[in-house]
Structure 1
Amino acid sequence: MTNKLTIFTPTYNRAHLLPRLYKSLCEQTAMNFIWMIIDDGSTDGTAMIVEEWKREADFEIQYHYKENGGMHTAHNMAYAIIDTELNVCIDSDDQMPPGAVEKIINIWKANTNPQAAGIIGLDADLEGKVLGTPIPRDLKKGNLKDLYKKFGVTGDKKLVLRSELTKQYPAYPEYKKEKLVPLGILYLMIGNDYDFIYSNEVLCLVDYQEGGSSNTIQKQYFQSPRGFAYAKQVQKKYSHSAKEQITYSIHIGISSLITKDFSLMNQGPKIFLNWLFLPLAYLGFVYLKRKTK
């Protein structure tokens, strides 16, 4: 049976959590998938554990090691080497519920749009409670931004991507000494050009870790200001809201103040807004600096 889906997992020193994810993959009802582990410089014996799994698993496991560079650099590596039609990122602290792989493949088989970008499904907690709100049932296709902005949907959602498209858009930029570029900008760019299939199937069970990226976002702002500035430039480009564009300009100004590199102010669309709202950016900079101490 040809593998149609790659499940890729960026990981850094999560050998204590990966077995839970591995167990959930072993319990899937369909095994025509590849589990691709992108080891972002782990020093906790992850490679040895994975080698044992490769010998015993009923599905293909690929292991790729790289120097530590952050989540987005692991995504860059995965997208460059994935060769299945679909891919989905399942983080090292998450799991796939029983039947999730089969559901993804069946949803895709039923798809009548060859240009569909992929699938947007639901995330739930470990008890199965959906995060935020489900997708309105009368909506069949669209993008992630519209779900949040137009239809008031809340909570993290799980995106399955058509792998061909992930290779057509710019890779996440990799900045020296920075470990984060917000991942949503790729989904924004793809969703601007292609529709996703909406589904209310739960495709991922999440378990946010203390110290994980979801819980340390303000601190990471100061650790990766160029990455955040780039993300805000992209978001500003695709926004049609004056309020949003001003907000993104303020964030670009904050990143410029953190880095003391005001060339960031002259990048992206509507540069004049960056300079016009620099005073508000300074207030935001002071507030965030105090809050993260």
Structure 2
Amino acid sequence: MKTITVFTPAYNRAQTLPRTYESLVKQKCKDFKWLIVDDGSSDNTREIVQEWQKKDNGFEIQYIYKENGGMHTAHNVAYENINTELNVCIDSDDALADDAIEKILEKWNQVKGKGYAGLIGLDADFSGNIIGKGFSKDMTETTLVGYYANGGSGDKKLVYRTDIIKKYPSYPVFEGEKYVALGYKYRLIDQEYKLAVLDEILCNVEYQPDGSSNSMLRQYIKNPKGFAFWRKICMQFPESEQRVFQDCIHYVSSSLLSRNWHFIKESPRKGKTVLAIPAGILLTLYIKSKVKG
């Protein structure tokens, strides 16, 4: 039994997935499995992976194909199939940093008996520049939301205990939609557990032009129920009280886009939601104008 599963959701990324593969081959420590969840690709992802499976890579490659449902559904399938102690997601256009597996396991062996949900490490671009802010020298543990509430920024690499990630509900699926924030599970975990800080670059990332982070306004239009769900979670477990009103505004907007006229009744923060209606209407008009443009 390996200690950690590296899982990769993939959707039509045959052109970038080899970079991910090569970064795994380069790992000196091979105490991991690689799970690829193909989210309905129409390119030659399957054939590429099958060729890799024939090679002696020093690690097992597991491939699962599913109908296209969005990143969060690929995570659901991954968690259903992971049986190692730890897991970490490396996207299909990213690369595991040199010796990342060794660094993760070395740190985990130091802290595994202290009740942490896992580790939080750094993402960097392919030039080695840290995405957003790093960690302060005195930060040894944090929740994810606590990191951002205290001035942190940028994507971070999260390594979770598998038993804990499976303890919480799966990402919900809304008919006709393909986006729910991955932060949903992480926010729930934050309520009970902390993460040990690993001040090392674990992943090199590249944001694709057709990736979700580069088309967020269009995502608001296509997935309003998923976004409204996420905003309710943010209101229920806020990053800060200052952020709640902003979440209310987005909740109003997403509710209007989904034509949910019961959004006030369903809100965890009814009073602030009512106050946010004018700004929510303006945000809705802004989103529609930009997407049409």
- Structures share fold, TM-score greater than 0.5: yes
Deviation at 1:112, TM superposition (A): 5.0
Which residue number corresponds to residue 125 of structure 2? 125
1:169 aligns with 2:149: no
1:136 equivalent in alignment to 2:159: no
Alpha-carbon distance in structure 2 between the residues aligned to 1:113 and 1:268: 39
Contact 2:37 2:74 in 1 (8 A): yes
The aligned counterpart of 1:14 is 13
* Residues 17-56 of structure 1: pairs in structure 2 closer than 5 A: 17-56=16-55
Distance, in Å, in 1 between the alignment partners of 2:131 and 2:187 is 20
- Where 2:139 maps in the other structure, the secondary structure is coil
SS in 1 for 2:54: helix
1:55-91 deviation digits (Å, cap 9, x = unpaired): 1122001000100000000001111111001000000
With 43-52 and 107-116 compared, the bigger mean Cα shift is at 107-116
What's the CA shift for 1:142?
A: 1.3
After superposition, where does 1:110-259 map in structure 2 within 5 Å? 110-111=110-111, 113-150=113-150, 152-239=151-238, 241-259=240-258
1:211-250 deviations in Å (ceiling 9; x for gaps): 1011111110111111111111111111274432222111
Q: Which runs of 5+ in 2 are unaligned?
A: none
Unpaired segments ≥5 residues, structure 1: none
> Displacement, 1:177?
1.0
Worse-superposed segment, 48-57 or 28-37: 48-57
How far the C-alpha of 1:277 sits from its partner, in A, is 2.1
C-alpha contact (below 8 Å) 2:79/2:166 kept by paired residues: yes
* CA contact 1:13–1:44 (8 Å) conserved in 2: yes
If the length of structure 2 is used for normalisation, what is the TM-score? 0.96
CA apart distance, 1:268? 4.1
Identical columns (%): 44
Equivalent-residue separation in structure 2 for 1:49 and 1:240 (angstroms): 41
Letter in 1 for 2:70: G
Q: RMSD of aligned C-alpha atoms?
A: 1.3
Partner of 1:91: 91
Aligned to 2:59: 59
1-structure distance, mates of 2:100, 2:11: 25
2:265 matches 1:266? yes
C-alpha distance after superposition, 1:126-181 (max 9, x if no partner): 1111112210011101111111112x222211100111011111111101111100
What is the Cα deviation at residue 275 of structure 1? 2.8
* 2:67 aligned with 1:74: no
- TM-score of the superposed pair, with normalisation by structure 1: 0.96
Q: What SS does the corresponding residue of 1:84 show, helix, strand or coil?
A: coil
